[in-house]
A and B are shown apart, each in its own frame.
Chain A
Amino acid sequence: MGIVWASIATLGVLLAGGLLTWWLEPRLLKAFGSTEPGPAAPLDIRKNPRPSQADPLTYYGAPIIALFGVVWATVCLPWGPALIPADVNIGLFYFIVVVDFVVLAVALGGWGGNTPGSVEACYRIVAQLAAYVVPLGLAIIGPIMMARSLSTVHIVEAQRDAHLWYIAPQLPGFVLYLVTGLMQVYRAPFLEPFAACIDRGVLGACGGWPGVLWRLALAGLLFVVAAMGAVLFLGGYAGPWLPGWLWMLIKTLAVMVLMLWLGHRVRLRGTADMLALAWKFLIPVGLANVLLVGILILLGVGQGPFPLVGSAP
């Protein structure tokens, strides 16, 4: 795709996915009976809180950076064999890095808001980054090893050629991805940076257009992380009768519903509990997952014929 069409397509996909998630999430939360919406807290258009001592550079720049991070993450999501804005050669690594930009944005916005709640959110978000990044890497390594490529299109094509969705041999990896995905998107049980006790962190210090951008970015983030889970473990756009993008949408929504439902079954964790969980439990599970996937690869699971699209791996 040309650069202009690719940019327009990326923005369109993100807006569609983000608005869909923004509309869908409160209804899902009500269906699951949750009391703590976290980042999905409703936006009250009539109130427009604006801290009087905000640092204008970081306060207004932060939601823009968050939105950029999510837009860049949409670039490597495949909706069909050729329906991808840019098939980045190192797509998955690129995905982890650009989702880090959302963390940076919340830290900047938290500091810039200059209210006690938002500065507390700045600290909590950095703690959450330290918690999720290593287990996420270990969860993602499994499909990369089986597909022998970092590119998202290659991973989907490898699942299609092997007639095996990677969730089947890598169930621990999938559960690990769900848990670290919840940490990445700051939904229950890991919603400390956006908890009600600190006035919803950055969301409580913003109103008007920064508030809208923040909520769009956070909804888009949930959409993008769920979509990447569908690509890695559920076979992306591969499927029999329906067109590719419809399969991808269905799988993304399935992963999203699963993440939210599992999240709301568990009680909320504080930051210290989350860090302990990540470092003491999730990392050993992740390492065991890598070992398991290695054994499976040596036994020949998931190693279908590899005539992959595009350049050779």
Chain B
Amino acid sequence: MIAPVVEWIAFGVFAFIAVAGALGMTTTMSMFRSGIFLMASFIGVAGLFILLLADLIALLQVMMYIGGMLVMILFMLLFMHDPGGAMMSTHMSLKGPEKWFSLGLARRQTHGKHPHGQHEGDHGGHGDDMPMQDMSMYTAIKRPAAILALLTGALLIALLVWRPHWAVVHALPDQDSPTRIGELLMGKYMIAFEGAGLMILLGIFGAVLVQRPATPPPAPDRDQLKAAIDETPPPIEDDTLEPEVLDLREDEDR
């Protein structure tokens, strides 16, 4: 179908995106970039799926994981002290892959505030005097974990390279994947299909119930809360970003 050279080049590109994305997720200082790198890794693997002639699964993977990773990033932004990575990359000296995957994050030390970490003003408590100890993203077992991961990877690759052959079949799959998958889902795997649907429903219920407060707020507070939600928010005063946010300049080369 496609010339083997083109296939190998495509394989190289997608494999590089997949592995570099996973590495970037692990090593970058910015949580947001972690999520984006993981998304890139999934898209790289989706490209490999297309090379393997599983186009429906590739599109499914891209669709689910773009949505999923975006939501995960939003959750991260709610809870982390430094989701943008600006504080960590400005104050820590980074080496190796961490430095390369965190390029562009360090801020100039022109003022004492840190813009990225403070954009969520109401999730405050991250005041000016952020304690500078213990900002690391890694646990204490970082070095043994890296060695373990390298050994596992090396062991797996060695097993793959020196293993006797699998029963590889050189037929091409049927090109009409939606019809075949549809027939299987509605026929042979109906229980799995319905079970997955039921599990998604239970997951939705569970997630909502798990994070709901145990008791609703008492009645007078509820009205106040509702009024507070419905009214328009006050404009942001005392915003340290204000003077230097928009660099409105006349376009010089017109």
Q: Please tell me whether chains A and B touch each other in their complex, using a CB distance cut-off of 8 A.
A: yes
Interface of A toward B, CB cutoff 8 Å: 45-53, 55-58, 89-90, 93-94, 96-97, 100-101, 103-104, 107-108, 111, 114-116, 119, 123, 126, 129-130, 133, 150, 205, 207-208, 311, 313
A50 and B66 in contact (CB under 8 A), knowing A93-B56, A108-B36?
no
Q: Which residue of A lies closest to B114 (CB)?
A: A53
A311 and B251 in contact (CB under 8 A), knowing A56-B104, A100-B63?
no
Interface of B toward A, CB cutoff 8 Å: 32-33, 36, 39, 55-56, 59, 62-63, 66-67, 70-71, 73-74, 84, 103-105, 107, 115-116, 119, 175-179, 236, 239, 241, 244-251, 254
A113 to B107, CA, bound (A): 14
A89 and B70 in contact (CB under 8 A), knowing A48-B248, A97-B62, A114-B115?
no
A108 to B74, CA, bound (A): 12
Whole-angstrom distance from the CB of B147 to the nearest CB of chain A? Answer: 31
The 16 listed contacts between A and B (C-beta, < 8 Å) are A47-B248, A49-B247, A49-B248, A50-B247, A51-B247, A52-B244, A52-B245, A55-B105, A57-B104, A89-B177, A96-B63, A101-B66, A116-B236, A116-B245, A208-B251, A311-B175
A contact residues around B59 at 8 Å (CB): 90, 93-94, 97
Instruction: Tell me what chain A mostly uses at the interface: helix, strand, loop, or mixed.
Output: helix
A311 and B244 in contact (CB under 8 A), knowing A108-B36, A111-B32?
no
B247 touches A104 (CB 8 A): no
B119 touches A126 (CB 8 A): no
Q: Which residue of A lies closest to B249 (CB)?
A: A48
Question: Which one, A48, A114, A129, contacts B250 given CB within 8 A?
Answer: A48
Q: Which residue of A lies closest to B252 (CB)?
A: A48
A313 to B175, CA, bound (A): 10
Whole-angstrom distance from the CB of A88 to the nearest CB of chain B? Answer: 8
B251 touches A46 (CB 8 A): yes
A49 and B107 in contact (CB under 8 A), knowing A114-B115, A123-B74?
no
Whole-angstrom distance from the CB of A223 to the nearest CB of chain B? Answer: 22
B241 touches A116 (CB 8 A): yes
A53 touches B245 (CB 8 A): yes
A56 to B33, CA, bound (A): 12
A116 to B235, CA, bound (A): 11
Further pairs besides A57-B103, A116-B119, A205-B246: 7, Cβ < 8 Å: A48-B248, A48-B251, A50-B246, A90-B55, A90-B178, A93-B59, A96-B63
A58 to B104, CA, bound (A): 10
Q: Which residue of B lies closest to A50 (CB)?
A: B247
B contact residues around A126 at 8 Å (CB): 70-71, 74
A104 and B84 in contact (CB under 8 A), knowing A45-B254, A46-B251, A205-B246?
no
A279 to B246, CA, bound (A): 37
A contact residues around B67 at 8 Å (CB): 100, 129-130, 133
A115 to B244, CA, bound (A): 10
B contact residues around A208 at 8 Å (CB): 251
A73 to B158, CA, bound (A): 42
Whole-angstrom distance from the CB of B154 to the nearest CB of chain A? Answer: 32
Most buried by B among A115, A133, A205: A115
A47 to B62, CA, bound (A): 37
Question: Which one, A53, A58, A96, A101, contacts B244 given CB within 8 A?
Answer: A53
A93 to B57, CA, bound (A): 11
A115 touches B251 (CB 8 A): no
A contact residues around B179 at 8 Å (CB): 313
Most buried by A among B70, B105, B250, B254: B70
Q: Which residue of A lies closest to B71 (CB)?
A: A126
A104 and B251 in contact (CB under 8 A), knowing A94-B59, A126-B71?
no
Sorted nearest first, the 5 A-B pairs with minimum C-beta distance are A48-B251, A97-B63, A52-B247, A49-B246, A50-B247
Question: Which one, B70, B175, B245, contacts A104 given CB within 8 A?
Answer: B70
B246 touches A51 (CB 8 A): yes
A119 touches B119 (CB 8 A): yes
A89 to B116, CA, bound (A): 44
A90 touches B119 (CB 8 A): no
